[in-house]
Amino acid sequence: MTLPNHPRYAARLNAFKQKGGSVADMITAAGRVGGLDAADLNFPDHFERHTPAELGRLLADQGMALNGLAMRYYTEAGFKLGAFTHPDRAVRQAAIDLTKRGIDACAEMGGRLMTLWMGQDGYDYSFQIDYARAWDDTIAAMAGVADHNRSVDIAIEYKPDEPRAFALMPDMATTLLALRDINRANTGVTLDFAHVLYAGEMPAYAAALAARHSRILGVHLNDGYGKRDDGLMAGTVHPVQTVELFVALERAGYDGVIYFDTFPDLGGMDPVAEARANIRLTDRLRAIAQGLAQSEALAAAIARQDAAASSGLVAQALYG
Amino acid sequence: MTLPNHPRYAARLNAFKQKGGSVADMITAAGRVGGLDAADLNFPDHFERHTPAELGRLLADQGMALNGLAMRYYTEAGFKLGAFTHPDRAVRQAAIDLTKRGIDACAEMGGRLMTLWMGQDGYDYSFQIDYARAWDDTIAAMAGVADHNRSVDIAIEYKPDEPRAFALMPDMATTLLALRDINRANTGVTLDFAHVLYAGEMPAYAAALAARHSRILGVHLNDGYGKRDDGLMAGTVHPVQTVELFVALERAGYDGVIYFDTFPDLGGMDPVAEARANIRLTDRLRAIAQGLAQSEALAAAIARQDAAASSGLVAQALYG
Amino acid sequence: MTLPNHPRYAARLNAFKQKGGSVADMITAAGRVGGLDAADLNFPDHFERHTPAELGRLLADQGMALNGLAMRYYTEAGFKLGAFTHPDRAVRQAAIDLTKRGIDACAEMGGRLMTLWMGQDGYDYSFQIDYARAWDDTIAAMAGVADHNRSVDIAIEYKPDEPRAFALMPDMATTLLALRDINRANTGVTLDFAHVLYAGEMPAYAAALAARHSRILGVHLNDGYGKRDDGLMAGTVHPVQTVELFVALERAGYDGVIYFDTFPDLGGMDPVAEARANIRLTDRLRAIAQGLAQSEALAAAIARQDAAASSGLVAQALYG
Amino acid sequence: MTLPNHPRYAARLNAFKQKGGSVADMITAAGRVGGLDAADLNFPDHFERHTPAELGRLLADQGMALNGLAMRYYTEAGFKLGAFTHPDRAVRQAAIDLTKRGIDACAEMGGRLMTLWMGQDGYDYSFQIDYARAWDDTIAAMAGVADHNRSVDIAIEYKPDEPRAFALMPDMATTLLALRDINRANTGVTLDFAHVLYAGEMPAYAAALAARHSRILGVHLNDGYGKRDDGLMAGTVHPVQTVELFVALERAGYDGVIYFDTFPDLGGMDPVAEARANIRLTDRLRAIAQGLAQSEALAAAIARQDAAASSGLVAQALYG
């Protein structure tokens, strides 16, 4: 985290969606938060009524930079059985072509990051899918979209399930295995805190594995109870794991944006107040993480795996 | 449980077990912690080589009071298929008789609390057990042991599974349903934080349900990741839920002992250092809980279910 | 539920929803399945463009009876923070009034069952809700709607989470505790197989608890992996638990409809083919259950909790 | 693993443990099952009172071949904080040396498979362990033991947790990532069905990943509910996934032993009857799998991801 610290925070634009509202309205609402200095746009949804140039201006008007684009396949009926893993070659190709158009739009806006969450690429039943074929098709498609424009990074965002009962890329290690097979320099992983939790992973370990075997290209912060994609405010349930993740990100040299991927709408919350709460608590936990990253006493306790000592130091830093 | 808020803390004596050591050694080790002013004894295990009077003296020598007794059925091969739910009436009666002897030992030591965790009373397979019969036998046995001595409280400690794949009393609400059927004044529930988590419950809601439908007779504090009985140090993973539980306990008028039910042995930790870490962090979180319990701003935020506001107040109290 | 075992099967009408289609289209599609002889309607959604009388005729045209109505609160922005537990008394009253209108519509169509899934009545965060008040408000609201028309049964359908991170009625035993507090003869529970699984319950035990402490008013059949509301085809993942549930339902005297609550849309399946697969496998598993319910050898094995023997008998009945 | 499909079945010897009994008694009891034609031995536990040669004779007397050895580190207090990941270099070396002695014993008995389940190599807390160092130490140790004797295969058996709250090798993909880093021909993975389930994996997908990225060296069959290492009888809970796994194993060319890793002791079952039930149901499910592996209709349904069709074919093969 050694940026000029700009931009620091982005948020899920759809969290600011109002019934009947436009993308421009969402961007304006995000601007009202204060402290959000970047945003991701969804492709093709957010580009339906605006050109890339217009969207760039809308962001700039709110003092926000483009962090990157995120593909969305699920809105098209054609991708319900899969995008890169669809049994029909023509539909797979349509998904690849759509992704390349998204990468073009990203590049046109000066963006350098395309995030791929392959939500439909999974299965619901035993005996539904040929796993080996689905894997091969995914590797080939990923390599193809990575080759489309080497100056745009392709980040795979894994998630255990939903909408499918099982995802082909459900967790960090499966994603890293795939990235080795894809074998392209402009690829990496986006780590979503709630996904990590309900994949049964410890966030800092997931980050360490990613740093060793690939690159961390994005961090989606939020929180949850480890059973589903709760999308709660960052730091509200797992402050200690959140702090440890920040220490791991610093160690990994991650200097990208922290993107709040939360769902204030599910619980009827005001998205602006919710975003401000995310920023306030994250700022606090990041500061604590920076202190702990410097602590020689903590490093020594970890080196001897002395959890009573290390937990004590962490508790003191957190709670005084 | 009308203790004058003294004793405050107890711990699992077996956490201090050394290979070849005796119960007396465990009590001595617990005494070295400083700050543990009560202990539970397991029946019959801890009474194998000592009379109740001797055990009372050993505790007193370390400045500890007896909090209560906890039954153990699993050490006897005869109870592997169940204690109160065993298919053989004679074995069920043996479990009831053993429990009554435990209650007698408890009373002889001046104790007023017997904790029942029916670890073997469950099932592993579909089509293994007659659920209705198991329920009826449990209700009858519980009523019988409660009637044995009205001045000793009987606390049911629920746990989702282990050793059996499913427990008959897996969660708070099932336990409260059973307590209604048992219908005895000297009965209630013991809430174990890690059990609560992996039963999928929110601790403060579980406590509120217990306070409304029965009585909270014991609190086992620890922490975990919500998948199994991790037995981690209190407050290390879920500090916010721990604080909310303390607020709920205060509201419920619970003034009994906080018993640290942790497993330092599983991770190779020194049990004395681990117990001290439990006390230190719990003291801090309890103090924060007392402050929050008085906060009118927090009460107002909760009254309108404004999570952004209430989480902000809690974060400020915790992290400054 | 004193139907002459006819109708036997119903299905979720929205599973047959096509983009731009009407309720009439869904009913027509359900009729094409063959074998679905009843349906539930959602209130108010399915009544927006049709009177109760028209809907009754549409069902009759397809040879289907009305099984009952199911309330939907989530479509109205006003209920995002809760329906019966909403912090604002006026919104709570609006939810109660809406439910009473639904009961009236049900009665007008000759229906006798109203299913309440209180999807928004829950919480996402610690310190978000006053659990005791939420409980009391729910009990009062449930009693009120039950009193509105004593000839319509009110069934509570519990679900662990979604859309909220925690539901107030997450599992069978909490629902049964609430039903005791509600204390009305025309109330009971609807058991949804996938909800049961991800509540961590064994379906037949949940059914046995319901039969003992209240009444089973509805059964939603489907399947899943025990982590979320997968909505898979009945019997495809847990055939043994499904068969055991049928045996438990027979023992409980349940003779109501089996309602397939599945989500063919999530995995891009044809809903008619999917519904036929549900009927075919369920018919087979019910026949096996009827055989097992008569087996004296199985009853004897269960009486001695001999899982090797009982599993062997079940395997032989299932797999030959 | 090029056995002529003989031996077919092995079982966990400790399942046959009686209080005070010896290894010889366990082997004799396993022999009484009939149908178990191989066994694994634990090192060093099972070698404490017997030489490798004696153990070989004991097995031969019961008509059993040695399938392989499995290391056990947890019985020694010295390995509580870890074996290959222990913070103390001397303890790590002791674990490596112990493993090499186990490999020697295996080779002396003519065995060719050493299974490593690194049960203590994990962590319980955030800020307890240096993940990167633990990974590196594990890779180095694994490479070292693989190099010790190239004619003995080293199989890593992953497990999500227990005794530690998190394992360093919790799932298939993490294990495959490690195996790539280890980069030795005589290494591979052992897949344990219950571990797979509670790692959140679909067994046949895990097998397909292993076949693509490494080798499947062992299969531990059992069943469970996807939350912990239940160790139930094979096929009793997830027959469809079990059958799909057998199809995947056939496709992967696995012709090794099926090892029943079950815990009859936890539920008070007779281990001989339990082992016979395992064999009987597994034989049946394997036969069904062989039929399905040949079905062109099933292959066609899978090729178009038509779950209604494929589930129907599977149901017909299973239930008639």
Nearest to B101 by CA among B152, B135, B40, B49: B152
Which pLDDT does position A183 carry in this prediction?
A: 98
Dist CA D62 CA D33 (whole Å): 10
Regions of chain C where pLDDT drops below 50: 1-4
The encoded tokens of residue D40 equal 């694994």
**Direct distance between the N- and C-terminal alpha carbons of chain A, in angstroms, rounded to an integer:** 24
Instruction: Give the Cβ contact number of residue A3 at 10 Å.
Output: 11
CB contact under 8 A, C273 and D233: no
- pLDDT 10s digit of each residue in chain A, 320 long? 333 455 699 999 999 998 888 999 999 999 999 999 999 999 999 999 999 999 999 999 999 999 999 999 976 668 999 999 999 999 999 999 999 999 999 999 999 999 999 999 999 999 999 999 999 999 999 999 999 999 999 999 999 999 999 999 999 999 999 999 999 999 999 999 999 999 999 999 999 999 999 999 999 999 999 999 999 999 999 999 999 999 999 999 998 999 999 999 888 899 999 999 999 999 999 999 999 999 999 999 999 999 999 999 999 999 99
Dist CA B269 CA A304 (whole Å): 11
Is B270 at the interface with chain A, CB within 8 A? Answer: yes
- What confidence tens digit (pLDDT) does each residue in D138-167 have? 999 999 999 999 999 999 999 999 999 999
CA distances from B19 to A306, B23, B26, B27 (A): 22, 11, 11, 15
Is B236 at the interface with chain D, CB within 8 A? Answer: yes
Dist CA D137 CA D188 (whole Å): 18
CB contact under 8 A, B233 and D125: yes
H/E stretch holding C122 reads strand C122-123
Residues of chain C contacting residue A277, judged by C-beta atoms under 8 Å apart: none
CB contact under 8 A, C281 and D311: yes
- Which among D123, D124, D232 has CB closest to B124? D232
- Which among C177, C244, C305 has CB closest to B173? C177
ipTM exceeds 0.85, yes or no: yes
The encoded tokens of residue C11 equal 């299905």
Residues of chain A contacting residue D176, judged by C-beta atoms under 8 Å apart: 173, 177
Residue A204 and residue A244 in contact, taking contact as beta carbons nearer than 8 Å? yes
CA distances from D168 to A91, D142, D163 (A): 39, 13, 12
Dist CA D41 CA D105 (whole Å): 10
Residue with token string 């199994």: B228
Nearest to D312 by CA among C236, C258, C270, C272: C236
Residues of chain B contacting residue C180, judged by C-beta atoms under 8 Å apart: 177, 180
- What confidence tens digit (pLDDT) does each residue in B237-279 have? 999 999 999 999 999 999 899 999 999 988 889 999 999 999 9
Dist CA B13 CA D240 (whole Å): 45
Which among D311, D313, D316, D318 is the top mutation candidate for probing chain C, defined by the most C β-carbons within 10 Å of its own β-carbon?
A: D311
- pLDDT 10s digit of each residue in chain B, 320 long? 333 455 699 999 999 998 888 999 999 999 999 999 999 999 999 999 999 999 999 999 999 999 999 999 976 668 999 999 999 999 999 999 999 999 999 999 999 999 999 999 999 999 999 999 999 999 999 999 999 999 999 999 999 999 999 999 999 999 999 999 999 999 999 999 999 999 999 999 999 999 999 999 999 999 999 999 999 999 999 999 999 999 999 999 998 999 999 999 888 899 999 999 999 999 999 999 999 999 999 999 999 999 999 999 999 999 99
Which pLDDT does position D148 carry in this prediction?
A: 98
Residue A135 and residue A123 in contact, taking contact as beta carbons nearer than 8 Å? no
Residue D314 and residue D243 in contact, taking contact as beta carbons nearer than 8 Å? yes
Is A236 at the interface with chain B, CB within 8 A? Answer: yes
CB contact under 8 A, C236 and D240: yes
- List the Cα angle B272/B273/B279 in 5-degree steps: 90
DSSP chain B: ----S-S-EEE-GGGG--TT--HHHHHHHHHHHSS--EEEEEETGGGSSS-HHHHHHHHHHTT-EEEEEEE--TTSGGGTT-STT-SSHHHHHHHHHHHHHHHHHHHHTT--EEEE--TTSEESSTTSS-HHHHHHHHHHHHHHHHHH-TTSEEEEE--S-SSSSEESS-SHHHHHHHHHHH--TTEEEEEEHHHHHHTT--HHHHHHHHHHHS-EEEEEE-B--SSS---BPTTSS-HHHHHHHHHHHHHTT--S-EEE---GGGGT--HHHHHHHHHHHHHHHHHHHHHHHH-HHHHHHHHTT-HHHHHHHHHHHHH-
Which domains occur in chain C, in start order? Answer: 9-319 (3.20.20.150)
Q: CA nearest C77 in A: which residue?
A: A268
Dist CA D310 CA D299 (whole Å): 8
Is D280 at the interface with chain C, CB within 8 A? Answer: yes
Phi-psi region of B310 (alpha: psi -120 to 50; beta: other; left: phi over 0): alpha
CB contact under 8 A, D319 and C319: yes
Q: CA nearest D129 in B: which residue?
A: B267
Is A267 at the interface with chain B, CB within 8 A? Answer: yes
Dist CA A215 CA A209 (whole Å): 9
CB contact under 8 A, D268 and B225: no
Is B171 at the interface with chain D, CB within 8 A? Answer: no
CB contact under 8 A, D171 and A166: no
**Residue contacts between C and D (CB atoms, under 8 Å):** 86
Task: Name residues 2-61 of chain C within 8 A of B (Cβ).
Answer: none
Distance from CA of B292 to the nearest CA of C (A): 10
Phi, psi dihedral angles at A211 (to 5 degrees): -65, -35
Distance from CA of B223 to the nearest CA of C (A): 16
Q: What is the pTM of this model?
A: 0.97
- What confidence tens digit (pLDDT) does each residue in A115-145 have? 999 999 999 999 999 999 999 999 999 999 9
The encoded tokens of residue B275 equal 């117990």
Which among C131, C247, C311 is the top mutation candidate for probing chain B, defined by the most B β-carbons within 10 Å of its own β-carbon?
A: C131
Instruction: Give the Cβ contact number of residue B296 at 10 Å.
Output: 7
Residues of chain D contacting residue C319, judged by C-beta atoms under 8 Å apart: 239, 281, 284-285, 288, 318-319
Residue A275 and residue A39 in contact, taking contact as beta carbons nearer than 8 Å? no
